[in-house]
Structure 1
Amino acid sequence: MSVSSERPVAPDLSVRRPAPRAVRDYSVLAKIVRESGLLRRRYAYYWTRLVAAVLAFGLVWAGVVLVGESWWQLALAAALAVVLAQLAFLGHDSSHRQVFRSRAWNDWTGRVLANGFVGLSHAWWTAKHDAHHAAPNQESRDPDISPGVIAFTPAVLASRQGWRGWFARRQGWFFFPLLTLEGLNLHVASVRRALGRGPVVHRGVEIPVLLCRLVLNVVVLVVLLPPAMAGAFLAVQLGLFGILLGGAFAPNHKGMPIVPADGEVDFLRRQVLMSRNIRGNVVVDFVMGGLNRQVEHHLFPSMPRPNLRRVQPLVREYCAQLDVTYTEVGFFTSYRIVVGYLNDVEHRARDPFGCPLAAQLGR
């Protein structure tokens, strides 16, 4: 096994049916991790962060009222974006059952944080994110690489003609500017899902709470601030929120191998080979909400966030024993890889790779 620090070594995904030995590989690792105690809840950690985040949310809005008509409000808008991102990360952890033993406690915590504080549909986010975890980077199954403004696969790129084709072949350079619109996009998608015809768990709670949160956010600003200042506040808050949230999720899989729609890979290799870890420190952990340890998170999605750091050496060593490539790069390198991939999807997603997964699965 090699720990990749640059471009990922992708598998031969022509294998259609994983061998029993490969399927058992994850079971062995899971047993080791269960016995290590790293799946136990971390209540002190999460209660501290939940209380701190909610207090910070209240303090920022108290500051908005006290500061009044001043362009210092833009600093508060930036602070609010940071707080909302942290609340979103906590909602993400709750949705994965990382916080409490009780499923109901996790679900309602995630629902309150998402709809009431962040302004995102918990039902929409959970369905979308669960589909991603089930099949990361798999065409037609992972919603995070489905056709949209960005073309993530050669097939989608080939369908873009005219100005859309021109944009798609240079989309990497627009990656960060587009992230400033991600916050608005998340709110719009949430409202569409909540008001749509599809199934929504606890729709009677989600719709009024979500709409009240979004409407009150605008109404309070319009009442307290002049129109131009209120608009600037919203622009800064939404723009930075989009950068923080989108920037935390994008480096974890973009530029990693794409799995064909009919490809079958065993669970351990599916999660490890399609994910990328980001090296860093406490600042990176904070900014990325713990998602910088994406390999471990995908292998054990219900593991409390602070335990991901502790299980990382164990996972790395186990991958070495199986000769499964474990990818980890620096913070800035990860974005360089993402931008480079997006600018050359046609070739980057079709490069010949050297990981003999077929041979591994056949052992």
Structure 2
Amino acid sequence: MNAEERRFEVLRAIVADYVSSHEPVGSKAIVERHNLGVSSATVRNDMAALEEEGYITQPHTSAGRVPTDKGYRVFVDRLSQLKPLSSAERRAIQSFLDGALDLDDVLRRSVRLLAQLTRQVAVVQYPTLTRSTVRHLEVVMITPARLMLVLITDTGRVDQKIADLGDVVSEEDVARLRTSLNAAMVGQRLAEASARVSELPDQAPAELRDAMTRVCTVLIESLVEHPEERLVLGGTANLTRNAADFPHSLRQVLEALEEQVVVLKLLAAARDAAHVVVRIGGENEAEDLRSTSVVSIGYGRSGDVLGGMGVVGPTRMDYPGTMAAVHAVAAYVGEILAGR
């Protein structure tokens, strides 16, 4: 092992010990716990070199060292492959997600699962509607003057809306509305479907025009993207359990996580379902999140990324375990959506 490789092994040892113990790591502990085959003096020299290069630092008066953001970055970049999950963990993920009833349930379960597996805050973005197409529109008569519209997209999203018609219609009229609406929308991307729906009232026969106008007005609301509804967040209590990792900034971190726009930006980097993206400390755009790391990935089906998911936690996190969990949960969510 040459000097550079050995230094990296020392850094890896410091990361591992600091993540598990939250105590600064000294050269003596490294020699005792990690079989590096070199003397304590050599490890001390390596630590001095790592500190000079900015990979580790000495907190206040402690004799030990802790990794810096730059140190974590090198550690993450040198992980040659993701640590595989145990078969028990994989089975647990599969059986928990297989029980999901619909898209909302899949995403809620994913967040709960990720928060439990990683002990961090988990976030999942709803499939971006711009990429969804309309699978079917069901029109159900609740009363002769009130209809329920159930819009189903190919991503498994189900939107229900009520349309008050202001006047009574027959079952035959409802059937005509259903036929016209489905003919205009099925198989269309949502933006295109919205444009087609807006033209329907003008094309409708005079006796149906008023009902069609009211139904289309309600429908367009479902077809237009509402960014504020696009996130599921879970496990915030995990941050408070690690409060020592955020000596001055826990409140700011929690407030930033409540800002949906901030979190959507965090996930914007995850446009690929094959690669986990890790943003460490100062690499995060949002100032309030510079004491955190964000591990994210895209999820989707058959090559089409529908949204992002990931976890937010302190920079002192188990990167290999967290990256493996995020990767595995995203892969299962993609499989479930592909099979629906």
TM-score, normalization by structure 1: 0.26
Structure (1/2) with the larger helix percentage: 1
Q: Which has the larger radius of gyration?
A: 2
Higher relative contact order (CA 8 A, sep 6+): 1
TM-score, normalization by structure 2: 0.27
Structure (1/2) with the larger strand percentage: 2
